[in-house]
Structure formats: C-alpha cells, structure tokens
Structure 1
C-alpha cells in the first residue's frame, strides 16, 4: 500500500483524488496547505488523517511514501527537490518546472536519492495515446504535425477588470504557453523527439505573461505547427499528416477520439474506451512504478520532460517572455 501526500488543495487536486479513488493499492495519508484552516477543511472533506502547513515537516514525515505536487509552476522545483532529498517519490504537475535548468536539477536530485520523479502529463498515458503510437505506421512517412489548444480562461474576465490571478501572474511562471502550450509540445516530443529549430510568435499581456502564441518547429523530414491561447477558443482537432493518410484526434490535452482518413476516401476509427477518469492513468503509472522499484517512467521519461521544457525555453526566448524563476538558476 503506497501512502501518498497531497501538496496543494485546488481543483486539480480534487480531480486527482477522483482518479486515485479507483485504485486499491494506495492510500492518501496527508495533505499540505498554506493555512491550517484550508488543510483541515480539505482533510476533513476527504478523510485524510494528517495535515501540514510546513513542507519541511511533511517531507521528513513517516506518514507518506510519495507526494503529488499541484502548486504554482514556480514552486515545483523547490518543493519537489525537498521531498526527493528526503527519499519521497514525486508526481509533479505539468509543466514540471519553470525552465529546463530547474528540470535538470530535479532529475539529478531524484537520481542521487534513488527515488521516482514523474511529470503528471496525463495525455501521453491515456489509452488513446497508445493507439496513436501503435498506428502511426499506417500514415506512411510523417510530414506534418498540428496541435491546437485554445481555451478561453474565465480568469481572463477578471484580468480585464484589473484582478490579476495566478493564471496571469509571471511570478508563478504561468500564462498560455505554460498552461496550455505544453500540452501541444509534450506529445510531439514523445512521438518524434526534439526539433532542429523553433520559431515562435506570441502576445504578452501587461501583467508580463503571454495570452497566446503560435509556434513552428522544424524536423529533418517534417514540420510541426502549434497554436495555444487563453483568450480565445478553438474546436480544431489535433492532426498528424502522413503521405498515406491523416490521423485526427480530438483534444490534444486528453485524446478521446482517434481516426485515420486515408487518401482513397476510407476512414478507420481507432478509438478505444477510457473506463476511468483521465487522471487515473497517470496515477496508475506512478504507483505501479513505485511498486516495481523503478525510478523513471518509460512513457513520461526524463528526456521527454527535459526536451519539452527546452522547447518552451526557446519559445519564451523568441517572444521575449521572462519569469522571475529564470534569475534563480
């Protein structure tokens, strides 16, 4: 029985708990929040026996074997390293850190202490992503990859009224690229590796974060186009185009339907059912790895997380987007 602690008590933590509820080889034993009132309320709601308002105390506690970190991006590296140094396995929300140098420090710490660190990028662990991987050969030589994640943020309405919440605050390493764009980048890296060249444009708000962006990535034999936005919506599917056909996937952040449209006009549906909540699958991978004594996922690998953040670094450099976190490494 793996004992997991929760760091953060926001809506994404609630969704993770939904995923964890379908597993019988783990138990949630602790929760951290900045205030005792919030920690106590959350613990009482979910029947969690231990509450912490001090991360150092939680990190050395013998009440947990692992943690799930769901705090602002700028805090990921510092918090993950603290737990890794104390022998705790870490499942950390995407993006794994604020920049690639932080990611490198995190993985180095995990390796030094022989514990598991995994990025909680759910899309690549869902059943339909495996379907994508297993059927790519049917497309022939791949020539183009297109991914769009444009989702109007309700917090943007407040931003326009002068209220800058975390989602639009650069000190938390947030914005469209870090919140949505990484969902377009990570599967690309997982499927095709690192690009040879990155070109990007973006719009930066007065608060100092980006509201939207477009990216072109060059490979030796193909190119990729990414679009992301927190100030507009898009209903476009995710596409992988080959010489023999095109694969269309709904929701780059959570692949739900997959089909191939061949040049002869035929359509092959490849969709498989997803019987559990989407966040179950990343939790399942994480706990299975702990039980197997492994310190790295073969799906959400160190390399995929690092290269995704390297691409994000390149995009930010192209559009002139800097975070306070960049000055700390």
Structure 2
C-alpha cells in the first residue's frame, strides 16, 4: 500500500519507522511546503517521491493513503482534500479542531468510500487491551483518575517571550488538544458518555490552556482527567473499584499495570516497549484499507472525545480560529 505523509516532524518519523514494520506498508511520498525540506525528508526515509503541492500529491494515481501530522488547524482541510480524491486517511490526534469538522470529515469518508481513522495509538496497543481484560478485577468501579502531565520542551521558549506552535490558538493547540486527549480517549472508551463535565484550568496569555482538570460525572461513579503541558508528573493513573484498584503507569502507553485488591495478593504485569508504539495503529490502518471496510475505526469514541474537547474549551474560555470557519 502506497502511503504519503504530511509533516516532517519527529512524530512523522516515528510513524514511518513503525509503519515499515507492518505488512504492505510502503512509504511512497512525503509532503512539505518547502521543496528542499520535502526532498531532504524523502531522501532520509527513502520515499519514492516528494511533493510541495498537496493537490498534485492527492492527484497521484499511485497513492493509496496518507498520514496527516500537520498542526491540528489543518487536519480537516487536508483530510477533506485527500478523501475527495479517493485517498484513505489516518490523521494524527486530535482528529481535528472541533466536532463540526469531525462530522464533515466522517460524512466525506462515507461519501467517497474511504477509510478515515484517528491516530490515537493508545486504543490499539496490546497493553490497553490487557487493561480492559483486567478491569473486572476491581469489581464495581467508583472512581477513575487518569493523569498525563508532561512538561513541554517549548514552554521554556514561551516563558522567554517566544510563542511556538504548541501554544497557538490559531493552530488549534494547547493542553486539552495535545495531552488531554490521551486521558479522554481511554476514559470515554472504557466508561462511555458522562452525565456532565466540569472543567477548570489555567489559560495562558496566548489563549490556549496550559493545564486542566476535568471532572466527568457518571450515575454510579466519577472520573477525573488531569493533564498539563507546563508541569510534569510520573504518578500513575488509577481505576478504583469496590474490590481493589488498578494502577496504570503512563496512560497514553501503559507500561505497567498493577492490581491491588482490597483483600488478597497484588498482581502486576509489565509490557515490553521494544515495539514502536505507533506500529499497532499503522497496522490497523493498513489492514482496514486492504479490506475497504470501515470497521473498528473507533469513530464513536473520536466523536465523543472531540465533542468533549469542545465543551472543555468552552468552559475554559479557549477559542480557536477554526471555530469560526467551515472546511
């Protein structure tokens, strides 16, 4: 399967290296607005060709699908262009800027009979599948606390007066979009839609959130998503039940799960990190495209997450340029 990439950053390189381990994945083309950068990136990763014009790339009949890792603001526009040309799309998280865009993109995928998938690696990892299998151990769940606090390397520049892409509302960025989705995706996948959501956090002068806490209220339990790009924590996430508690180290890519029962012996399982984390999502995308069948693409969860990021941003007062435009 001939794949193109949009974006020349580290995450694109990670996807390429992971994808090459999957059967039928072939890096056919790379795109950059800068022709020299496109050529350099193509040479580095041994792509067949390169483009600095998206229209030309999507018109290439040899191209089957595209991985999009541009700033979030451009996800919807670029994915729409690709699907209208009959290309399959895997789009880096977050899927797009808002729920309105997500709805348009899914309608376009159905109209053109192409695969459209959010690259949320967590849901495709074997360790997350193990977490689901271990969930009954805790009995009736009463509380879940999912945490991902990772100090951004770009925050130092921000403190020195330079606002880089990670903290620009014009690019649909910020803690909720960049980090928070890694808490929201597994929470909503495991426990479904809450009755209500209440968010609080710190909004930077640039207009995006630096950190936030989100309380999700369910009928018989509550959950908290706690995330930050301006602080750091190595503390585990937790799922607390009436029979015990599951501790999950690194919720975005579970490395270790520990079950501590109210009564009985503690159980623990550690997961190898030898395989690239993005391998499983890349493989799932290729397999889905080969079947030409949109199954297990987690559209329902992607919709739910983007609807909740809209609600969280509304409560925090974070507004994106993309909120006032249509694709």
Tell me, yes or no, whether TM beats 0.5.
yes
Q: What residue in structure 2 maps to residue 309 of structure 1?
A: 306
Instruction: State how 1:1-329 maps to structure 2 within 5 Å.
Output: 2-296=1-295, 298=296, 300-329=297-326
The SS at the match of 1:98 is coil
The SS at the match of 2:131 is helix
Asked whether the equivalents of residues 183 and 225 of structure 2 are also in contact (C-alpha less than 8 Å), the reply is yes
1:196 Cα deviation (Å)? 1.1
Distance 2:179 2:28 in 1: 31
Which stretch of structure 1 is more off in the superposition, 9-18 or 287-296? 287-296
CA RMSD of aligned residues (A): 1.1
1:270 Cα deviation (Å)? 3.5
Distance 1:221 1:270 in 2: 28
Distance 1:256 1:127 in 2: 10
What runs of 5+ residues in structure 2 fail to find an aligned partner? none
Provide TM-score, normalisation by structure 1: 0.97
Asked whether the equivalents of residues 254 and 271 of structure 2 are also in contact (C-alpha less than 8 Å), the reply is no
Distance 2:260 2:267 in 1: 7
Distance 2:23 2:97 in 1: 33
Asked whether the equivalents of residues 202 and 211 of structure 2 are also in contact (C-alpha less than 8 Å), the reply is yes
Distance 2:179 2:264 in 1: 33
Which stretch of structure 1 is more off in the superposition, 191-200 or 259-268? 259-268
The SS at the match of 2:67 is strand
The SS at the match of 2:56 is helix
The SS at the match of 1:154 is coil
Residue by residue over 1:284-316, the C-alpha shift from the partner in whole angstroms, topping out at 9 and shown as x without a partner, is: 1111111122124x2x41110000011111111
Asked whether the equivalents of residues 23 and 283 of structure 2 are also in contact (C-alpha less than 8 Å), the reply is no
1:199 Cα deviation (Å)? 0.2
Size of the aligned set, in residue pairs, is 326
Distance 1:5 1:320 in 2: 36
The SS at the match of 2:61 is coil
Provide TM-score, normalisation by structure 2: 0.97
Asked whether the equivalents of residues 6 and 30 of structure 2 are also in contact (C-alpha less than 8 Å), the reply is yes
Asked whether the equivalents of residues 30 and 63 of structure 1 are also in contact (C-alpha less than 8 Å), the reply is no
Distance 1:247 1:74 in 2: 36
Distance 2:133 2:96 in 1: 30
Distance 1:265 1:38 in 2: 58
Provide closer, same or farther for how the CA distance between residues 128 and 230 of structure 1 changes in structure 2, counting only shifts above 3 A.
same
Asked whether the equivalents of residues 131 and 270 of structure 1 are also in contact (C-alpha less than 8 Å), the reply is no
Asked whether the equivalents of residues 4 and 68 of structure 1 are also in contact (C-alpha less than 8 Å), the reply is yes
The SS at the match of 2:162 is coil
